[in-house]
Amino acid sequence: MLKNYKPILVVAGEPYSIFLEIFFKTLKKNNFKKPIILIVSKNLFLHQMKKLNFNYKINLLDFKNINYGNLSLKKINIIDVKFKFKKAFDEITNKSNKYISESFKIALFLLKSEKFSGLINGPISKKNFLKTKHLGITEYLAKQTKTNKVAMLIYNPKLSVSPITTHLPVKDVCKNITKNRIINHVKLINEFYKKFFKKEPVIAITGLNPHCESNYESSEEDRIIKPTIKKLVNNAYKVHGPFAADTIFMRNQIKNYNVVLGMYHDQVLTPVKTLFGFNAINITLGLPFLRISPDHGPNAKMLGKNSSDPTSLTWALKFLDK
C-alpha cells in the first residue's frame, strides 16, 4: 500500500450538489499524504470538472480488484458508478436514489476489508433519498451496518457538540429522550476522545426546557436528565449539568468544556455553527468504521456557481489524513 498509509474512501453522494466543486477546490489548495478513493459517476465528474474550470487526471479503479500499491497521489482515484444524466448541473430528484444507494453499497463492501482510514460522504438529500425510512445518513449507515448505538458529533478542536436526538420534529423530541440514550451518548463520546486524543472529555449536558424548568409538575430535567447525570458522575465520567441552553455557550461558561451534549438538533448545532461556521465536521460515533461528512447540505441553489466554501471538506480530509 502506498507509503503504508490506509487510503481515505469518499462517496460523492447527491450528484447535483456542491460536493464535487468543493472537492476540486480542496485538492487544489491542499496536499494529502494518504491516497483518496472517490466513488462517483466518472462521466458526471468529468462534466462538472470541465464546467467549473478544473483539470485533474483520473486513475480508474475496479472496486472488486483494487491494487492498493498503485493508488495515485497525483491523480484522482475513481470508482465509477453508472449514472445517466442530461446536464452537468440539474435539479435534485429521486432519480438519483439508485445511484446513491449503489455508491454506499460499494463503500460498505470495501470498508469490510478494514484497509481504509475512514469514510467521508458528500451531502445527501433527506427529502428524496432518505424519505421517511431514516432520519439521516447517521441512521441509514447504522441500519446498513446493523449498529444499535450511534451518536452524531459535530467536531471542532475548541468545542464539539452532540444532540441526543437528531433530525426529529420538535414535537417528537421529549418522548425520545431517555436515560439510556444519554448514557450511551456519553460513553461513545468518551471512547472517541480517549482513542483519538488520548484524553477524557469534559462534557456539559443541557436541559430540555427553557432555563431547565417547566410549568408542569414532573419535568424531563427532574425525571430523566438530573438522575442520569448523577449516575454518570458516580461512574467517574466528567459530566456536568443540566445547563440552560441559552447560557451554556457564553464565553465564561463554555471555556471549561470540550463537548456540549444537547437534547435536540438545533439546540446545539445552531450555536456551534454560529461560533465556527464551516470549521467543523460531522462525525458518526459507534459505527465499525470512522465516518465523517462535511457540515453542510447539497445546497442546490449554489450549483454551478463555483463560489461554495470548501473549508468543512478540507477539515474532514485532514482529520483522516493524520
Q: Do 264 and 175 sit in the same domain of this protein?
A: yes
Question: Where do we find the cell 493524520?
Answer: 322
Q: Do 46 and 131 sit in the same domain of this protein?
A: yes
Higher pLDDT, residue 29 or 131: 29
pLDDT tens for 221-264 read: 999 999 999 999 999 999 999 999 999 999 999 999 999 999 99
Q: Do 124 and 25 sit in the same domain of this protein?
A: yes
Q: Do 262 and 196 sit in the same domain of this protein?
A: yes
Split into its structural domains, the chain has a count of 2
Neighbouring C-beta atoms of residue 236, cutoff 10 Å: 8
Q: Do 5 and 133 sit in the same domain of this protein?
A: yes
Q: Do 125 and 10 sit in the same domain of this protein?
A: yes
Average predicted confidence (pLDDT) for the chain: 92
Question: Where do we find the cell 447525570?
Answer: 229
Q: Do 138 and 198 sit in the same domain of this protein?
A: no
Q: Do 168 and 125 sit in the same domain of this protein?
A: no
Q: Do 4 and 124 sit in the same domain of this protein?
A: yes
* CATH at 188: 3.40.718.10
pLDDT score recorded for residue 29: 93
CA 276 to chain centre: 16
Q: Do 315 and 272 sit in the same domain of this protein?
A: no
Neighbouring C-beta atoms of residue 170, cutoff 10 Å: 11
Q: Do 30 and 114 sit in the same domain of this protein?
A: yes
Length of the chain: 322
Per-residue pLDDT at 161 exceeds 60: yes
pLDDT tens for 65-103 read: 998 888 999 999 999 999 998 888 888 888 899 999 999
pLDDT tens for 283-300 read: 999 999 999 998 778 888
What's the sign of the alpha-carbon dihedral 48, 321, 157, 179?
A: positive
CA distance 304 to 301: 9
Q: Residue 78 is part of which domain span?
A: 1-147+287-322
pLDDT score recorded for residue 4: 62
pTM: 0.90
CA distance 240 to 202: 8
Q: Do 199 and 125 sit in the same domain of this protein?
A: no
CA distance 308 to 299: 9
